Structure 1
Amino acid sequence: METLMDEGHNMTVLRAKKYHSFTQAAWIEKHVTRAIESPNVNKRFSHLNRLIIGSEQICDDIRKHLEHHSITKLRKNGVLMIEFVLSVSPSFFKQPNGAYWPDANERLKAWVNASRDWLLKEFGTNCLTAILHLDEQTPHLHAICVPVSKSFNKKGGVVHRLNARGILGGRDKLSRLQDSYAGALAPLNIKRGQRGSRATHTTLKQFYSAVNESKRICAKAALPAPDAAPASFNSWQAIVNRLSDNLDSIHDSEINKLKGIIQELVVTNEKLRHEVMSRRRNQ
């Protein structure tokens, strides 16, 4: 594959989260298949989302995968599945002015193919599902993996069990996965993110908190809340900041009015004091 031109500092993004129950798996299934609404989703583009690996029946596929490997009991608090989120810097798809690169579609296809190949090479049949989302701020993949591992019992028989520690046991293993993913994207001139970075991402919980905060501030300022959900947490945050500035401005205006009233009272009080002293001297 021809190497794409290097525009800016394009970095890999690879995050992982463990889930312990089918209840959580069902929620993830609804979220990634858009069966439930999310405020950070632009529904106008949801029809562009597409399945890259497996099927959208995540819970059913997990059950079949466990049954196929004769795993019938789940340990309490054991990890049932791991969700990986794969993406790259927005600059890989967009120019500094916000417009897409002329070859953005080619870039997207190359990144998706490289990411799919990496998932299958790294996790094999344990990677049950990968879904591409194009209805949020930056294209990204949600990959669902069930951490089935193979070992041998004392009689030499094959035994399968769930073993998330074999994949995410400690920071070193996640770091190795991030190194591996960066290696798979190297032909696209996408580099590994900063090692040991403390950079954080916006969770849905944080997003909803921002939404609620914006509504609270709108109500406090007697302003109408936005009708449509913005495309990202950052735009919500911008709204919150603008409204906060407006409130500060209103607050400052009210304080200035109060200061004026207080100043008038001070002047009036001073006049009265002088009048009282003058009357006393004349008595």
Structure 2
Amino acid sequence: MLKRALEGVLTEQEASELYSAFDQIGDILIVRIPDSLLSKKKVIGETLLQSVHPARSVFYQATPVEGDFRTRNLEVIAGEDNTETEYKEYGCRFKVDVEKAFFSPRLSTERDRIAGLIQDGEVVINMFGGVGMFSIIAAKKKRCTVYNIDLNPYASKLCEENIRLNKKLKGTVISINGDAAQVVREQLQNMGDRTLMLLPERSDEFLDSAISATKSGGIIHYYSHQHADKRQDAAELSKQHYLQVTNVKSEIVGGRMVRAVGPHYYQTVVDAKITK
């Protein structure tokens, strides 16, 4: 879609260098542009603003998502310089700030999958919950209690606002600002029927905390990044990796390749039932 929108604006060679997709979050578009085309970022932005509806702002992603708060630097290249918007998914409304708190529309299918697995009455511990997307969608569908933990105070504040925005939840979402390992150690040991580890680049580091948070017989959803020559191999590689790094008896009950994050590089999830 991105290359199609820019036909006639870029040469065929330039178009071949351009990343093929952009993220649309509410009325904000976020595009990654290779260094070779940065001189044309304004015309790229203006063309997208005119071609995609609804669109109020187009931002160039100047840095990857990084740091403990999982944020990125964005530069406005067309439209309004305002990084706040409203996003809707599965009947829920979310206020998001695409620069101050982590958010990805590309996890929509996975959010729906997790919500479908949760059973009424479960306690769910979302260790890196961000603005509350997974947690609120789960509580919309099931009578569960979800602890949404995030280190980024702005993400936790947005989660609280999003809980208020979505008044007709079947379940309950509790937003906690803090380090997930410390929060689990002090408040949530052996409380979770299900624990989400939505920080794939650091899952090994926090696995012991996830095990501590989860009841015997509970499920850990372990997300990681895996290199694989073939897309279909990524899920199997992630299962092997989990079994190598875990220190608790585990039965693999599910898992999948969630999305591609680079050439031969994938975000994956393993669903593991643990026995303590």
TM-score under structure 2 normalisation? 0.25
Which structure has more helix as a fraction of its residues? 1
**Larger of the two Rg values belongs to structure:** 1
TM-score under structure 1 normalisation? 0.24
Higher RCO, Cα 8 Å, sep 6+: 1
